Amino acid sequence: MPRIFITGSSDGLGFLAGKLLLEQGHSVVLHARNDTRAREVKARLPGCEAVVTGDVTTMAEMKSVADQVNALGSFDSVIHNVAIGAYEDRVMTADGITQIFAVNVVTPYVLTALIKQPKRLVYLSSDMHAGGSDEDLQDPQWEARPWNSSQAYSETKFHDLALSMHLGRRWPHVLVNALDPGWVPTRLGGRDAPGNVLEGATTQAWLAVSDEPSAMVSGFYFYHQKPQDFKRSASRPEVQERLVQYLERITHVRLL
């Protein structure tokens, strides 16, 4: 039975992806920010194998989540779903990283590096990645630029896509893909978002387990189970390498 771990899965897209996978007969481990949310999601989805906890705004908690997952054994797929949307203010974490960059980019990087390598990796990007302008990482923590929350979010989604494409090249034995779930009515997207949240979750689950030839690929960017065009600079090796080197430098964690 395939085992899947999903970050940020106490509600929204991650929860729905976990629910779909459980209904398909797979074993699912969820992730919640704290023990209270873990108890709540376990009550809502009692069939899940386990719920690991950790507030991934800090490096220490990211590493704790990785340790908890590794203690449960090997996984066939990991879905890097956890994300936060734009904040009005530039919030800094205890590690001196903007919160949106820490959760949206550093967390999937650190967990990818520290969790036992699965057969498939799925990363949550967004069509807003096309608006990411800091490809050269001149100011990833917004120390010099006036804070723009929407732009900061777009840049993190560009980095997620670039990271996924880098891993697709680096680990040819692993199926690595990213997706745009659409603007959907979740905690992140807001209640007025026009998209269908189930379609976004379905694509995550499909990439994690499907044996369809269209899902058994690597280095792609999907929307509703269909490959999509993307900002081409995300596929440039020099852009990817610069991102990975930066993440290694600020986290002191290296990819294998």
* Torsion, Cα of 59, 209, 70, 57 (10° steps): 10
User: Is residue 7 within 8 Å of residue 79, measured between CB atoms?
Assistant: yes
Query: How many CB atoms lie under 10 A from the CB of residue 191?
Result: 7
Residue type at 225 in one-letter notation: Q
Round to whole Å and give the CA distance between 234 and 163: 8
Q: Could you say which of 109, 157, 221, 231 is catalytic?
A: 157
Round to whole Å and give the CA distance between 155 and 152: 5
Contacts of 112 (CB under 8 A, 6+ apart): 78, 80, 121, 163, 167, 255
Residue type at 100 in one-letter notation: I
What backbone phi and psi angles, to 5 degrees, belong to 39?
-65, -40
User: Is residue 228 within 8 Å of residue 247, measured between CB atoms?
Assistant: no
Query: How many CB atoms lie under 10 A from the CB of residue 254?
Result: 9
157 in catalytic set: yes
User: Is residue 119 within 8 Å of residue 93, measured between CB atoms?
Assistant: no
Position of tokens 């709540």? 40
Q: Could you say which of 109, 153, 221, 223 is catalytic?
A: 153
221 in catalytic set: no
Question: Which residues does the annotation mark as catalytic?
Answer: 153, 157
